[in-house]
Structure 1
Amino acid sequence: MRYIVIGAGAVGGTIGARLHQGGHEVLLIARGAHYEALRRDGLRLITPDSAETLDIPAADGPVPVQDDDVLILATKSQDTIAALAPWPSDLPVVCAQNGVDNEATVLRRFERVYGMCVWLPAQHLEPGVVEAHGFPYSGMLHVGRYPQGVDDLAEQIVTDLGKHGLVARTSPDVMRWKYGKLIGNLGNAADALLSRGPGMAEVVERARAEARTVLREAGIDFSTPEEELETRGHQVDVRPIEGSRRGGGSSWQSLARSSGSIEADHLNGEIVLLGRLHGVPTPVNEVLRREANRYAREKLPPGSMPLETLLALIDERSAAGSR
């Protein structure tokens, strides 16, 4: 079985590297300077206890497919449709992405869709290089058939993922775990916009409180932080890498790379959508969604919004919604 990893950045690059190290055939799909570096030099995977250059095949677009290919989609959610458009719809797709709407989007075109809940602290800021900060394992991955269940392919994927450097589990209710992860990811926009400090933590908790209220009103079940901590334990602790400074999460990295887009519509925006559908105000998530998109569009640097500015915008939105 060959794994085609579409989006070989922080998450996709780490998953592809670990599958390769486990003895599996892997093809990395990347673009631009990152693709050129992968093709020329291989993938440089740096972890807290090792640094290795891996000779993994790479391409910058679709290739002839094989009957046993599996697509692992690790792009940002805003790129899902474009990333999958060139690929045959009879291939299975694993959505190794934040957010909860990718699976439904993919299922419109692909028959076999699998959700993956990803806990994998990594960063990709330099072409050809991925830094994976998890220790002793790089990440923990829950995999299940969408919308629910576990089949033989899910079992095989989990077995393959678990051979080297990753912890993987089958999960018939994978979307429940992904909704829990969504709540955690609501802090990504604040992490990207603000300098870290106690004020940021307060904003994040307010965003998460809105989400819990909305999800309960919508009748959507979600995993809790306590469950996540019990499941993960100390298998994926964040450790420093010598000579490297871990800047921030995936949204912070989008601003740091001046990519021009960010995932906020599919994270904070998901809560805004559900709030509007169920009549629950979500001013914190609406402002975080709007401002993260503005920062990405205008290519502003991460951590450059004053906390006072963000709080004033939230207060303004809250007041407008109460009128």
Structure 2
Amino acid sequence: MRYIVVGAGAVGGTIGARLHQGGHDVLLVARGAHYDALRRDGLRLITPKSDETLDIPAADGPVPTGDDDVLILATKSQDTIAALDPWPHDLPVVCAQNGVANERMVLRRFERVYGMCVWLPAQHLEPGVVVATGHPYSGMLHVGRYPQGVDDLGHQIVTDLGKHGLVARATPDVMRWKYGKLLGNLANAVDALVGRAQGASEVAERARAEARTVLERAGIAYSTPEEEAEVRGHKVDARPVEGVERGGGSSWQSLARGSGSIEADYLNGEIVLLGREHGVPTPVNEVLRREADRFAREKRPPGSMPLEILLSLIDKP
């Protein structure tokens, strides 16, 4: 079985590297300078215990595929449709992405869709280089067929992922875990806008409290932090990496790279959408969504909004 990783950035690059190290056939799909570096030099994977360059095949677009190919989609949610559009629709797709909208979008075009709840601290700010800070494992991945269940292919994917450097779990209710992860990811916009300013965590908790009210009104189940802590334990602890300055999360990295887009519409915006559908006000998440989008569009640097400005926008009458 060949794994075609579409979007070989922080998450996709780490998953692809670990599958390659586990002896599997892997193709990394990337664009621009990152693709050029992968093709020329290979993928440099830096972890708390190692620094190695892996010779993994790379492409900058679709390639001929076969019956044993599996697409692992690791792009940001706003790029999902464009990233998958050129690929044959009879291939299975694993959505290794934040948010909860991707699987449903993909299911419109692809029959076999799998959700993946990703706990994998990593950053990608330099072409050809991925830094995975999780230790002793780079990440924990819950995998299940969308919308529910685990089939034979799902079990095979879990087995393959777990061969080197990753913990993988077959999870029939994978979307419940992804909704739980969504609650945590609501802080991504806070991180992108104000960085680690004192008081930022309180804003993130306000966004999560608002979201829990929405999910409960909508009747949507989600995993709890206590469940997550029990399952994860100390299998994926973020550790410092010598010589690498720690950046922020995925949304912070989008601003740092000046990509021009950010995932807030599919994180905070998911809560805003559900709130509107179920009559629950969501002012905190709406401001975070709107301002994160504006920062990305205007290519503003991460962490450059004073916390007091963000609070004034949230609490504006």
TM-score bracket for the superposition, by shorter chain length:
over 0.9
Letter in 2 for 1:305: M
Distance 2:12 2:245 in 1: 20
Distance 2:146 2:184 in 1: 21
Deviations 1:141-170 (A, max 9, x none): 000000000000000000000000000000
Find the counterpart in structure 1 of residue 184 from structure 2.
184
Find the counterpart in structure 1 of residue 309 from structure 2.
309
Distance 1:198 1:228 in 2: 26
Find the counterpart in structure 2 of residue 88 from structure 1.
88
Matched, 1:2 2:2: yes
Letter in 2 for 1:207: A
Q: CA deviation at 1:197?
A: 3.2
CA RMSD of aligned residues (A): 0.4
Letter in 2 for 1:233: G
Distance 2:21 2:196 in 1: 35
Find the counterpart in structure 1 of residue 204 from structure 2.
204
Q: CA deviation at 1:66?
A: 1.1
1:156-305 map, 5 Å: 156-305=156-305
Distance 1:107 1:42 in 2: 33
Distance 2:58 2:165 in 1: 21
Q: CA deviation at 1:33?
A: 0.0
Letter in 1 for 2:69: D
SS of the residue corresponding to residue 26 of structure 1 reads: strand
Q: CA deviation at 1:245?
A: 1.1
Distance 2:12 2:196 in 1: 26
Find the counterpart in structure 1 of residue 128 from structure 2.
128
Deviations 1:72-94 (A, max 9, x none): 00000000000000000000000
Letter in 1 for 2:74: A
Indicate if the aligned counterparts of 2:195 and 2:248 stay in contact, CA closer than 8 A. no
Indicate if the aligned counterparts of 2:197 and 2:307 stay in contact, CA closer than 8 A. no
For structure 2, the residue ranges without an aligned partner over 5 or more in a row are none
Q: CA deviation at 1:311?
A: 0.5
Deviations 1:172-230 (A, max 9, x none): 00000000000000000000000313310110000000000000000000000010000
Indicate if the aligned counterparts of 2:116 and 2:142 stay in contact, CA closer than 8 A. yes
Distance 1:39 1:237 in 2: 31
Q: CA deviation at 1:68?
A: 0.3
Deviations 1:96-123 (A, max 9, x none): 0000000000000000000000000000
Letter in 2 for 1:149: G
Indicate if the aligned counterparts of 2:261 and 2:297 stay in contact, CA closer than 8 A. yes
Distance 1:97 1:117 in 2: 7
Q: CA deviation at 1:310?
A: 0.4
Find the counterpart in structure 2 of residue 38 from structure 1.
38
Distance 1:283 1:72 in 2: 34
Identity of aligned residues (%): 84
Find the counterpart in structure 2 of residue 105 from structure 1.
105
Letter in 1 for 2:188: N
Letter in 1 for 2:157: I
Distance 2:198 2:142 in 1: 31
SS of the residue corresponding to residue 198 of structure 1 reads: coil
